[in-house]
Amino acid sequence: MSTTTQAPKALRGVGNWIDDRFHLAKTGEKNLRKVFPNHWSFMLGEIALYSFIILLVTGVFLTLWFNPSMAHTTYEGSYQRLNGVEMSEAYASTLRIDFDVRGGFLVRQIHHWAALIFVASLVVHMLRVFFTGAFRKPREINWLIGVGIFTLAMLEGLFGYSLPDDLPSGMGVRILQGVMLSLPVIGTYVSMFLFGGEFPGEDIIPRLYMLHILLIPGILLALIVAHFMILWHQKHTQYPGTGRSEKKVVGTPMFPGFAIKAGGFFFFVFAVIVALSAFVQINPIHLFGPFTPTAITSGLQPDWYMGFMEGSLRIFPNWLDFQIFGYAVPIGVLVPGLVIPGLIFGGLAAWPFLEQWITGDKRAHNVADRPRNAPVRTAVGVAGVVFYGILWLAGANDILSHTFSISLYWTTYFFRVAAIAGPIIGFIVAKRICLGLQRRDRETLEHGYESGTIQQLPSGEFIEVHKESSQETVHVLESKAAVDRIDDEAIASVEESESDGVEAPAARGLKGKLRAKLAHWYTKDNVSFEGVEAHTGHHLHHGAGHEEHEEMAGSH
């Protein structure tokens, strides 16, 4: 005999009352059965979300005791080494959080580590989306939202890092002011407005504080909610495989499987952040002392996500500066401080539309690419990573110079050359690796995988037996043929001609010719999988003469 478990009568009554007014029962059931693909890389975005939640909770805690004031005070607290030292109220209140508020130092450490992991997970998540082409139609808007979240997260981290008013954060604010001053004509006005006078002024900490706890978190929260609402509506991308298509998702239902997994993963992320905060000290402001405009120190580095800007400012030459109508244009600060970050973030935002224009591919894509199947895109991404990484390393050129006993000038010259040559080398190497992997995939699809079994032919020649790949592997490899068809159709649309062979009007102009050349460059080296059939059964393989060997082996 079977029994049916029902909710308690009171709960059923409440549920019916709500459903009568909002009709949520069917919608809720449909959403609870929503399927999420199973792959570890899809959890990178979850790490960013969970880190953001931890940032909000710990930020509220710290707000209760932090005093965002630059008013001068004399410290009289538990940290004896700074007793009697004049400092700002902001720095003194941070010391009180660290040494007088129960659990305050741990919470501040958790807040800082969560910020670092938040930005790091955003970077890795965006790289996953970029290299797999998950930004393509219909997800361009969500990609733009992601770029906006990434940009605001870096600003939020910079402003939060500056709030304690200790020596390292004050030096960071000083660099920020220098970048503002590099703006032609308006730079001094922007600086005076933000700082409330000459540097350091009296207003910068309160203003950064309001931006840090209200404006930017509010915008971030709105963008994250919009990001997930669009994701929920458009459904998740998935990697090619058995049973997966542009219209069919294979994975785990939202409830209970994915919900339990996501909940457990949140506590795992929280545990890792707390463990780091408990055992790995970060930003010990009590060791540096309060900021004064006349003090400076060496060997300090900003948080990792600002390292690329630090590096670009350090290595960019100053012999390009010039004056126009009596106004100085400090290229040595303007370009590395504003132009280079603008190119990085602007390039990220523009890439989906640029790739769509080059390839002519305007189809909706729900199945992600394997990075090797889009060698130019992958190579561009690797070039960007190399460029970012070189600038990031250049931000520690003084540490590298001291550690390895190398002249500081030589490290600067090296990074200047590497910032140009490195991305080019990275592009070439990454593209060649992708094309090599494509050839290997074609070989595997057409002839199977190497079994390690050696057989001798009647002629005395030794050859290796190739075995049939698994069905899952075959489906993954065959996805390249779909990419080839899309590429061919896109190129045909770019090079479209009239029935008499005359070029279409859109292809005659400079823009059309440029697009055709870029489309040809984008796809010309791809290894075609068209017409390649997956082999079945075990057979012998030995280079170009494998068909003859198969026949001999079959008759032997």
Instruction: Render each residue's pLDDT in the chain as its tens digit; 556 residues.
Output: 444 455 566 656 776 777 777 766 666 666 667 777 888 888 899 999 999 999 999 999 999 999 999 999 999 989 999 999 999 999 999 999 999 999 999 999 999 999 999 999 999 999 999 999 999 999 999 999 999 999 999 999 999 999 999 988 888 888 888 888 888 888 889 889 888 888 888 889 999 999 999 999 999 999 999 999 998 888 888 888 777 777 777 877 777 777 888 889 999 999 999 999 999 999 899 988 898 887 777 777 888 899 899 999 999 998 888 888 777 788 889 999 999 999 999 999 999 999 999 888 888 888 888 999 999 999 999 999 999 999 999 999 989 998 999 999 999 999 999 999 999 999 999 999 999 999 988 888 787 777 777 888 888 888 777 777 777 777 777 777 766 666 666 666 655 544 445 556 656 678 778 888 888 888 888 887 777 776 665 455 544 444 444 433 343 3
Closest CA relative to residue 130, chosen from 336, 307, 388: 388
pLDDT of residue 9: 62
Whole-angstrom distance, CA of residue 391 vs CA of residue 307? 7
* Residues forming beta bridges with residue 248, ordered by sequence position: 245
- Report yes or no: 110 and 277 within 8 Å, Cβ to Cβ: yes
* Residues forming beta bridges with residue 245, ordered by sequence position: 248
Whole-angstrom distance, CA of residue 495 vs CA of residue 493? 5
Whole-angstrom distance, CA of residue 366 vs CA of residue 349? 20
Q: Hey, what are 490's tokens?
A: 């896109």
* Residues forming beta bridges with residue 238, ordered by sequence position: 367
DSSP class of 526: P
Q: Which amino acid is at 525?
A: D
DSSP class of 336: I
Instruction: Compute the half-sphere exposure of residue 454: CA atoms within 13 Å on the CB side of its CA.
Output: 3
Domains with residue ranges and CATH for the chain: 33-238+250-369 (1.20.810.10), 450-555 (no CATH)
Long-range contact pairs involving 6-10 (C-beta distance under 8 Å, separation at least 24): none
3-state secondary structure 349-391: HHHHHHHHHHHCCCCCCCECCCHHHCHHHHHHHHHHHHHHHHH
Q: Hey, what are 154's tokens?
A: 């870096």
- Dihedral (CA of 81, 87, 91, 95) sign: positive
Whole-angstrom distance, CA of residue 340 vs CA of residue 499? 46
Query: Cα dist. 128→116, 266, 366, 486, 510 in Å?
Result: 19, 20, 15, 22, 34
Whole-angstrom distance, CA of residue 160 vs CA of residue 285? 13
Q: Hey, what are 150's tokens?
A: 């990434």
Q: Hey, what are 410's tokens?
A: 């030589």
Q: Hey, what are 465's tokens?
A: 């037996």
Whole-angstrom distance, CA of residue 367 vs CA of residue 111? 36
Q: How many CB atoms lie within 10 A of CB 14?
A: 12
Q: Hey, what are 312's tokens?
A: 């670009």
